[in-house]
Amino acid sequence: MDLGRSASDLLSLEGKVAVISGGASGIGFGTAVKLAEFGARIAIFDIDEKQGRLAGKELTDLGGRARFFRCDVRDAVECKRAVNDTVSFFGRIDILFNNAGVAIRKNAVDLEPEEWDLALDVSLKGQYLLSKYIVPVMKMNGGGSIINTGSGWSLKGGPDAVSYCAMKGGTLNMTRAMAIDFGKFNIRVNCVCPGDIDTPMLQSECEQLGMNYDEEYKRSCAAGRPLERLGTPGDVANAVLFLSGRMSSWITGTYIVVDGGGIA
C-alpha cells in the first residue's frame, strides 16, 4: 500500500498523450479540456476542420498542449494517417477516447439505408478503425487505456432511435471483446455510457423530433432522473479521466453509466 501517493498523483496524466475523436465540440471537447488540465497532451480528431482548429487553439490558450488532426473516422486511410501524424508529432499515444458519433432519431421503417450506414460507420466502424491503428502504438509503449463512448441506450432500448441503439449496444459488447483481446498487453478497454448531455448533439436530436431546444425541453429530459438535471460534458469528462489513469488500473471490460440515475 502506497500511503504517500497523493490524489493528484493518482489522477495525473503528465507525460501521456490522449487522442479524442469527435474532439472539436460537446463531450469530446469537454473531455479534452479535462484531460489537459491533468497534464495530458491532446490530439483532437474531427471531421470539422474549422471547429477543430478553434478547439485546438482554445486548449492551447488555456495552457494545454494540443493539436488538431483532421480525421473522418469512417475512412481507414484517414484514420491511419491521423494516427501516424499524431505519433510523429507527440511521439506516443497512451489514451484513446473513441467518442465520435451521430444520432439519427428514426425507427426501422422510417430510417433510410444510407442513414443506417452513416450511424454505424461513424460510431462502430470509427471505434474499430482507430483502435486498429492505435493499439499497436500502445503495445510499443507498454500499455494504454481505451474508452469508448456508449450510452444509456447501450443497456436498454429507446424510441425512434434504432440505428443509435444498435451502434451503442454494439459499442458495449465490442468494449468487452477488446478488453479480452488486449489485456495481455496492459491495454485496458472500458465504456462510458452517458445519458442526456447538454450538447449540440442533444439539440440536434430535439430538432429531429420536431421540438424546440429550450428550457422546457431540457426540463423534460431531466424529469424522472433522481438528480433532476441534464448532464454536462464535464460530468462525462470526469468519468473518462478516472478510466484514463492510475485509479482505474485494474478496471477493464466494463462500463460506467453517467446519466443522473436515469436507468436506475
Q: Where are the domains of the chain?
A: 15-196+232-257
CATH for the stretch 15-196+232-257: 3.40.50.720
pLDDT value at 10 more than 90: no
| pTM of the full structure | 0.95
pLDDT value at 117 more than 60: yes
Find the catalytic residue in 128, 164, 213, 255: 164
Q: b/e map of 233-259 (b: 16 or more CB within 10 Å)?
A: bebbbbbbbbbbbeebeeebeebbbbb
164 counts as catalytic: yes
pLDDT value at 116 more than 60: yes
Looking at per-residue confidence, does 97 or 10 come out higher?
97
Residue 15 cell numbers, joined: 507525460
User: Which phi and psi angles does 157 have, rounded to 5°?
Assistant: -80, 165
Report d(CA 90, CA 18) in Å as an integer. 10
Mean pLDDT is lowest, of 85-89, 173-177, 221-225, for 221-225
